[in-house]
Structure 1
Amino acid sequence: MTILNQCTPFRCDVNGVTIAGAIGGSGPPLLLLHGYPQMHAMWHAIVPSLTQQFTVIAADLRGYGDSAKPVDDPSHITYSKRAMAADMVQVMEHFGFTRFAVVGHDRGARVTHRMCLDYPDRIERAAVLDIAPTHYMYLTADREFATAYYHWFFLIQPAPLPETLIGADPEFWLRSKLKHWGRTPTAFRDEVVAEYLRCFRDPATIAASCADYRAAATIDLEHDEADRRAGRKVQCPLLVLWGAEGFVGRKYDVINVWREYALDVQGHSVPGGHFLPEEAPAETLAALLAFLT
């Protein structure tokens, strides 16, 4: 069962893990990647329209949703964005697509960024929603950033500290994040939040999501630094969207920051906070369709 209309659930084994999600529609392939602390159901408001023009594959990242949650390793390479990007390239190959467009939100946008760098021949167009590059955010970190993004520094603490504290009341944590980062309380449908909670309550999801952030502060930065030294940038057209009332647009000159990391950048803000596809579905959909078609 999937909460995405016009889509059918799938599970496929790739890269040593099982990836779950939903597929539907017809036309050019479009991969959708969710953020924290969600899963593929976050696209519910825009998928019905997207499936009218695209074959949509909405996948759960490893460690999230109904995808596998492998045990992390000391280097955190298991939850590196490189590993997650490789998963998704293989998922698309599983469905017969060697070139495709991808849209990522939050953590999924960071996977999208890595995918564009590691597989430039596979990605036709990419969109990243409400992020600045991980490398840039750590490089320019200050008190304002650390206050707004305190979870980055909490989740990377050694296990089992964040896992134990979040695990004591995962519903409180998840609802707090939706409230803290969002600006549109009515955006979160009860049945969708119930899906988020069903998956996030699993201790393995909590542990995996902490590992995701630990990777972002270690192995992912090593990969990013290597790309910077080599002069590698995103080559495909890149759309950047952010919430008009959120932290990213307030803190960063988003377009110009991304131009340090990509060759062809366009974008703008949409109403609301962090959760663009749920808080501003019409505006997000319009921007994506204008870019992708």
Structure 2
Amino acid sequence: MQISMMPLRTTKVSVGGHDVVADVGGDGPPVLLLHGFPQTRLTWRSVVPLLADRFQLVCPDLPGYGDSARLGDAPQSFDEALLGRHMVKLMHQLGYERFAVVGHDRGGLVAFRAALDDPDSVTHLGVLDILPTVDNWAALQGPGGVFAFHLYLLAQPTDLPERLIGADPDVFFGHFLDTWTEVPGAIPPDVRAHYLSAAGRPEAIHAICDDYRASAFIDGVQDERDQAEGRRLTMPVLAAWQDPGEARLPFDPVRIWESWAADVHTVALRCGHFLPEELPKQVADAVTQLIAS
């Protein structure tokens, strides 16, 4: 399904022998925008028109998602550090030596790792509705874990999740698209159908499961080591998340992100999980303010 990301153009770039498909365009300082689960680069379709006259935008499908090739056959190919380096190489090949990166959900984890590991390339970091992997796992306690059941299911080291999801991928992935959204119409039927089609392919299901296996058995260990060594983000950071309203989060996102960065601006938005699609103007404004800092 072809859904326009005007005014961007679609391009395919070979990065280390692996094809990355991205929408690129705009005018101004470069910004890399990374999507999350269970989506593709279309996550940014409503944000792009609000930023393209101020920034040069690059919106790729993450490896293994959408139209971009995965980097290997094992869960290790979804190591956040590896994916972060891959995205940095993509930007360098496109001619951007220094750039801002903003990521939502899984893309936020890749953005976080790229910024932590390569501060010479990343000038600003934006993370939307995500915590670093080690903090995310630590926050899952008691009944709150019910709503994050997919983290445990997808990370199973056998092919159990692939077999279960493959029985009805539309029901599985549609569950998240429907229940994690609070703004009516944020994900219209044609975009929803695109997400389900992209995620429901057997190779995509396997890639997504391997991504979560890496999160459980690789990425958290890396984060723990970085914490022990006192590594911190050195660039301005925007951390945004959904405002839970009267409900209470089982963690303090402000404290967590301030433990990783000295220069951090935090904002809570009244919407569901899919911030770029539910409140694109607020997200665009926050990104603009971040890069102006």
Tell me if TM exceeds 0.5.
Answer: yes
**Aligned twin of 1:132:** 131
Measured after TM superposition, the shift of residue 246 of structure 1 is: 8.0
Could you say which residue in structure 1 is the equivalent of 2:288? 289
Q: Please state if 1:162 is matched with 2:161.
A: yes
User: Is the contact between residue 110 and residue 133 of structure 1 (CA under 8 Å) also seen in structure 2?
Assistant: yes
Two-structure CA RMSD over aligned residues (Å)? 1.8
Q: Match of 1:181, as an amino acid?
A: W
Q: Give the conservation status (yes or no) of the 8 Å contact 1:246–1:274.
A: no
CA contact (8 A) 1:243 1:249 kept: no
Q: Distance in 1 between matches of 2:17 and 2:250?
A: 38
Structure 1: distance between partners of 2:112 and 2:245: 20
Aligned partners of 1:239 and 1:18: how far apart in 2? Answer: 29
Say whether the 8 Å CA contact 1:132–1:248 is kept in structure 2: no
Q: Which residue of 1 aligns with 2:29?
A: 28
Q: Which residue does 2:43 correspond to in 1?
A: 42
In the alignment of these two chains, the number of paired residues is 291
The 5 Å alignment of 1:155-194 reads 155-194=154-193
- TM-score, length of structure 2 as denominator length: 0.94
Match of 2:221 in 1: 222
8 Å CA contact retained: 1:69, 1:205: no
Cα deviation, 1:234-265, whole Å, max 9, x if unaligned, reads 11110011111389972322111111112211
Q: Which amino acid aligns with 2:62?
A: L
Structure 1 counterpart of 2:214, which letter?
A
Q: How far off is 1:84 after superposition?
A: 0.8
Question: Using the alignment, how far apart are the partners of 1:15 and 1:235 within structure 2?
Answer: 28
- CA gap of 1:145–1:190, structure 2 versus 1, over 3 A, is same
Counterpart for residue 274 of structure 1? 273
Alpha-carbon distance, 1:159 to partner: 3.0
The CA distance in 2 between the partners of 1:145 and 1:54, in whole Å, is 38
What is the SS of the residue equivalent to 2:125? strand
Give the partner amino acid of 2:85: A
| Runs of 4+ that moved beyond 4 A | 246-249
Aligned to 1:102: 101
Match for residue 61 of structure 2? Answer: 60
Q: Which residue of 1 aligns with 2:241?
A: 242
Q: Distance in 2 between matches of 1:6 and 1:248?
A: 39
Distance in 2 between residues matched to 1:208 and 1:240, nearest whole Å: 27
Which one is further off, 167-176 or 41-50?
167-176
Instruction: State the distance in 2 between where 1:51 and 1:249 align.
Output: 36
Give the letter aligned to residue 7 of structure 2.
Answer: Q
What is the aligned-residue identity percentage? Answer: 37
Q: Matched residues in 2 for 1:251 and 1:5: separation? A: 39
**Alpha-carbon distance in 1 for matches of 2:15, 2:190:** 29
How far apart, CA to CA, are the structure 1 residues paired with 2:244 and 2:140? 20
SS at match of 2:259: coil
Question: Offset of 1:132 from its aligned partner?
Answer: 1.7
The answer on whether the counterparts of 1:246 and 1:273 sit within 8 Å (CA) in structure 2 is no
Post-superposition offset of 1:158: 2.3
Distance 1:178-1:243 versus aligned 2 partners, 3 A rule: same
- Aligned residue in 1 for 2:261: 262
Residue 6 to residue 130, structure 1, CA distance change in 2 (3 Å): same
Q: Is the 8 A contact 1:25 1:55 kept in 2?
A: yes
